[in-house]
Structure 1
Amino acid sequence: MARETGFPRADAEHDFLRARRRQVLSRLANWLRGEPDDVNIMLPYDEVVEALGRQGERRIGLRVIKLDSIVGSVDRGRDFDRRFRPTSGRVRERWERLALASRRGENIPPIEVYRIGGLHFIADGHHRVSVAHAQGLSTIDAYVTEVRTKLDPGGIRYRGDLIVKDYRRLFLDRVPLTGQARASIVLSDAESYAALGEHVEAWGFRLMQDEGVFSDRATIAARWYSDEYEPVVRMLRQAELIGARTEGEAYLWVAGERYRLIRTHRWDDEVIAAVRARERRAPTDLDDSLEGPRGLA
């Protein structure tokens, strides 16, 4: 809660100093815990939109939003950290002026934000949000513009997560799955999406050769999911070979092992037995088991 001395100007100064102290202590704590460098950095709006794939936007007007839902900025990320604590004394004069106005009960205009899913990104009002956080508020008035994207922003915590989202978007452009099939393919490593995309394209090429019929990407994606992915995942579950991986990671891993061990594209008990035997001898991570895109073709 905001400190109260009965002197609004002194309290506003204390608000700023306390916010700066917390920002410095947070950086120190993250360093001691070995947290990634971007854990306290605001998410950059443009990079998020690019990674998720912009589809359109609409203004939805004045809303009351939660302060904790504001995770990024359009262009002022360097002046405040992820919790909107000032990163230097550069913003102090304006910050304390707004804090003083707030303490005196003066009218504070709404901020302006872009909404992507349940996340908000500030276009105007960084100091107002910082002051609101420092004074212990939980909500703020905002003019909201809703931005539609191809991918949901769920799972984005740090700037590094945008790489995975970007690769997933590119994968779904190459392999345009829909519905449950689209949602079920989840990989934790960005480059694995690239490897899986090449694998599906190679599978589709073999399918067209076998059937002598041209198929578009959407048809190949649907056929691969129903004729290849789902049956293999069922076998992996029965053989207890998924382990701590996601189903998509387990499929990609075993597809690479299948070709490397037996040099075949078929699926049968012999393939599963060979992979199971190798798993028992020397368990490997997904990255160690893949020999590159050619090993999956």
Structure 2
Amino acid sequence: MQPPYRQQARQEWDQAYRKAYWVNLLSTLQGRQVDLLDFNEISHRLHLTSSIYRGVQVVPLEKIVGSVGRYNDFNRAFLPRKKAMQERWQAVAIMYLNPSSRGLPPIELFKVGNLYFVRDGNHRVSVARQLKIHDIEAYVWEYPAVLPLTGGKDSVERVLMESEREVFLQHTQLDTLCPDHGLYLTLPGGYTELLGQISRYQQVLSRIDEQPIPYEEAVVAWYDMVYETTIGILEKTGVFDQFPR
């Protein structure tokens, strides 16, 4: 006979692992993203620098949306994706299920806006969610964000795009140089690609004129000759009828 709580922990693992399989399969068929967010990517794209320690707090589990290093091991609901995680996951579950255990220490979280990312304690979050626990104790370090990070995946992507656009506009001064530009992108990384285009265009213009071209002049020339020309061609061909701007 299995020791107390071990059988229940095994059953909880089986349910969680099975749910993860079906969620991943359904997301593939529907083309939806259910991955945890990668804190390092968020940090890079939002230009996060230093954090402030906020002490021990009780955090709603639904607000934990990503991980520092284990974002591939769990899906967005913190369901386990890898069979190799079973032994450790069940050991954590036994600690939760056994009322005579000493309990578990607080996890460690990074906070950005109103969302949290696991620095340490991914298995504890996964088990707690499977057991329908709503809150968890955590040591919290907060990263002040320039833009508010408040919602789900769509909100996060929107904020990241706004952050990229802000960096692009600060670097190019396009709002000042071409105040009626109306340049908006919807794909992550697009503004970084445009910065590369402008730099290459500046080099081309400098070779043609056989003298250095100021960056501001290159920005205006790129916008007028490359961006606006390309948009005009796409409008004439009816591409935007299939992909609304």
Determine helix, strand or coil for the equivalent of 1:10. helix
Number of the residue aligned with 2:58: 64
Number of the residue aligned with 1:52: 46
Say if 1:187 and 1:193, in contact at 8 Å, map to a contact too.
Answer: no
Deviations 1:90-142 (A, max 9, x none): 11111111111111123121100000001111111011001001101111111
Number of the residue aligned with 2:77: 83
Structure 2 CA distance for partners of 1:157 and 1:46, relative to 1, 3 Å:
same
Structure 2 CA distance for partners of 1:132 and 1:288, relative to 1, 3 Å:
closer
Superposed, which structure 2 residues align to 1:119-130 within 5 Å? 119-130=115-126
Q: AA paired with 2:134?
A: S
In 2: Cα distance, 1:125 partner to 1:145 partner = 14
The reply on whether 1:113 has 2:109 as its aligned counterpart is yes
Q: AA paired with 1:47?
A: E
Deviations 1:194-220 (A, max 9, x none): 669999xxxxxxxxxxxxxxxxx9xxx
Number of the residue aligned with 2:240: 284
The reply on whether 1:256 has 2:228 as its aligned counterpart is yes
Determine helix, strand or coil for the equivalent of 2:153. coil
Number of the residue aligned with 1:240: none
Q: AA paired with 1:118?
A: N
Structure 2 CA distance for partners of 1:51 and 1:285, relative to 1, 3 Å:
farther
The reply on whether 1:97 has 2:91 as its aligned counterpart is yes
2:21 to 16, 21, 24: 24
Residue 69 of structure 1, CA deviation: 1.1
- With normalisation by structure 1, the TM-score equals 0.58
Deviations 1:41-98 (A, max 9, x none): 2111111000001142100011111111111111122322221111112111111111
The count of residues paired between Structure 1 and Structure 2 equals 212
Superposed, which structure 2 residues align to 1:152-171 within 5 Å? 152-154=148-150, 157=153, 164=161, 167-171=164-168
Determine helix, strand or coil for the equivalent of 2:51. strand
In 1: Cα distance, 2:186 partner to 2:151 partner = 10
Tell me the percent identity: 28
Say if 1:53 and 1:151, in contact at 8 Å, map to a contact too.
Answer: no
Determine helix, strand or coil for the equivalent of 2:90. helix
Q: AA paired with 1:115?
A: K
Number of the residue aligned with 1:11: 8
User: Rg bigger for which structure?
Assistant: 1
The runs of at least 4 consecutive aligned structure 1 residues that moved more than 4 Å come to: 158-163, 184-187, 192-199, 285-289
5+ residue gaps in structure 2? 176-181, 199-215, 217-223
Residue 24 of structure 1, CA deviation: 0.2
In 2: Cα distance, 1:137 partner to 1:172 partner = 44
